[in-house]
Structure 1
Amino acid sequence: MGRLTGKAAFITGAASGIGKAAALLFAQEGARLCLLDIATEAGGALADEIAAGGGDALFLETDITSEQSVSSSFERGLATLGEVDVLLNCAGGSSGKDGSIVDAPIEELWRVMQLDLLGTILTCRAAIPAMRAAGGGSIVNMSSTVTVATVPGIDFYTAVKGGVSALTRTLAVQHAPSRIRVNALAPGVTMTERVLAISGGDVSRFPLASKQVLGPAKPHEVAAAALFLASDDAAMVTGVVLPVDGGASAW
């Protein structure tokens, strides 16, 4: 029996990268999926791929920076799946416009705050009441190892991901009585499509990569950690920010 058999999992940023890897893995482990992403074509194709393999996946175009869009997607997803047992927040990411707090354009701060922090807040806000009514659930947010293994020059992203870590811990404490576990992953350099495009295929260009003694991660390796936190194998794990960074945070 799969580790998520009988569970309904909502995944943001599901159309690519870690989110896509997690969707495929969660489907293999028996989850019924609600895939949320702004990339309609890729998200729909992923849902079709999962269905063709015998899985159960619904794709909903969703802008996680919009309260209305998130609310509508959760309403539709709950109407179809009946519950939300797992929420995995993968949507987010930095951009080449980030930099020193002195020099980076302030518009980049608002962009990353909306995408990485506000988006996480809105999806948690939508999922927690349904989880509470159902008697519990698991939320897995996406922080970053740059919050503990300092990488100069991505100051806005670092600050915002620190906010995701702090949010994760406070939600874990508040909602433990409702049997809702809240944890986060802190990946290092991960070879997603976006990262490979930014680096021109050479991830060693990223300063953090030199600290990753096990090398850069592959998306499915981060997804495996997400599966652990989402599943009942982690029944006594909450309030944790788990590094998946090849040892970078050990320095």
Structure 2
Amino acid sequence: MDTSKFFDLKGKTAIVTGGANGIGKACCEILAAYGANVVVSDYNLDEARKTSKGINENGGKSIAVDCDVTSDEALVNLVSETVKEFGSIEILVNNVGGGGAGKESPYDITIDQFKKVFDMNVFSMWRLCQLVAPEMKKAGYGSIINMSSMASVNTSPAISAYASSKAAINHMTKNLAYDFGPDNIRLNAIGPGATRTRALSTVLTPEIEEAMLRHTPIRRLGEAIDIAGAVLYFASPISSWTSGQVIFINGGGEQTLDM
């Protein structure tokens, strides 16, 4: 058995949305480490450039592209700039997401706020899938990884917009896998559990963390690299017969803010 190509991403190009920090940054770095050209896409261009610069200084190939995923013009430009720079697109990590964290009381949230969550979390992912699919078909290789959440299957208070948007991502991923599969394009989703990111740090207290760990067999919270490892699997040839799946990376347990 020749295992040398299982995780070989040389000659492949990956777009990572929200790639400047946190889970997105870890995804950019691990894909670059295994040979992919990486487009660090983020609405914070300065931070994206820092991440891209770090990849290049470590021997990788990367560019940064300014992108607000709720702007269709920005999404079209992201794909165009990627092809212009690297000539192809083989991997898409739809990492951008927003909302949640107990801030969505149905007594307070407006319909516009609810819609904004879906614009960012669902509609932008669907549109980018549509935009990159022709490029992946031309390349003869395609892997799209959509970032879901444990919130897609858990129940918690004041999180209905975020949670339902993430549940929509799960089902969208499974259905698009049927649409794009004949063109050798795979779609999978990853549902992180509680992962140490800047966003989690704004709501995490020692008491909440202790409660979360009581429900987590591997008794620690996740790190960004834990999620990036699953992204690497789905992006790589090792998973060439894996599509339409949702995998939860959560230490074997369940973590919610109201524990």
Length-normalised TM-score, structure 1: 0.92
Offset of residue 249 of structure 1: 5.5
1:161 to 2:166 alignment: yes
Asked if the contact 1:138/1:180 (under 8 Å) is kept, the reply is yes
1:221 to 2:226 alignment: yes
SS of equivalent to 1:248:
coil
Query: What is the aligned partner in structure 1 of residue 248 from structure 2?
Result: 243
1:212 to 2:232 alignment: no
Structure 2: any 5+ residue segments left out of the alignment? none
Q: Read off the aligned partner of 1:219 and give its amino acid letter.
A: A
Q: Read off the aligned partner of 1:211 and give its amino acid letter.
A: H
Query: What is the aligned partner in structure 2 of residue 195 from structure 1?
Result: 200
Change beyond 3 A, Cα 1:206–1:161: farther
Deviations 1:17-41 (A, max 9, x none): 1000011111111111111100111
Residues 77-226 of structure 1: pairs in structure 2 closer than 5 A: 77-96=82-101, 98-199=103-204, 202=206, 204=208, 210-214=214-218, 215-226=220-231
SS of equivalent to 1:199:
coil
Offset of residue 129 of structure 1: 1.2
Work out the CA distance in 2 between the residues paired with 1:156 and 1:209: 26
Work out the CA distance in 1 between the residues paired with 2:245 and 2:50: 33
Offset of residue 226 of structure 1: 0.6
Q: Read off the aligned partner of 1:46 and give its amino acid letter.
A: T
SS of equivalent to 2:203:
helix
Query: What is the aligned partner in structure 2 of residue 48 from structure 1?
Result: 53
Deviations 1:139-161 (A, max 9, x none): 00011111223223211101011
Structure 1: any 5+ residue segments left out of the alignment? none
Offset of residue 196 of structure 1: 1.1
Work out the CA distance in 2 between the residues paired with 1:21 and 1:196: 17
CA RMSD of aligned residues (A): 2.1
Q: Read off the aligned partner of 1:84 and give its amino acid letter.
A: I
Work out the CA distance in 2 between the residues paired with 1:206 and 1:44: 36
Deviations 1:64-121 (A, max 9, x none): 1111111011101111111111000111132457334344333331221111112211
Asked if the contact 2:41/2:67 (under 8 Å) is kept, the reply is yes
Work out the CA distance in 2 between the residues paired with 1:93 and 1:248: 23
Work out the CA distance in 1 between the residues paired with 2:27 and 2:194: 17
Query: What is the aligned partner in structure 2 of residue 10 from structure 1?
Result: 15
Change beyond 3 A, Cα 1:241–1:149: same
Offset of residue 247 of structure 1: 1.8
SS of equivalent to 1:198:
coil
Query: What is the aligned partner in structure 2 of residue 36 from structure 1?
Result: 41
Offset of residue 3 of structure 1: 2.6
Asked if the contact 1:9/1:87 (under 8 Å) is kept, the reply is yes
Q: Read off the aligned partner of 1:128 and give its amino acid letter.
A: A
Work out the CA distance in 2 between the residues paired with 1:203 and 1:45: 34
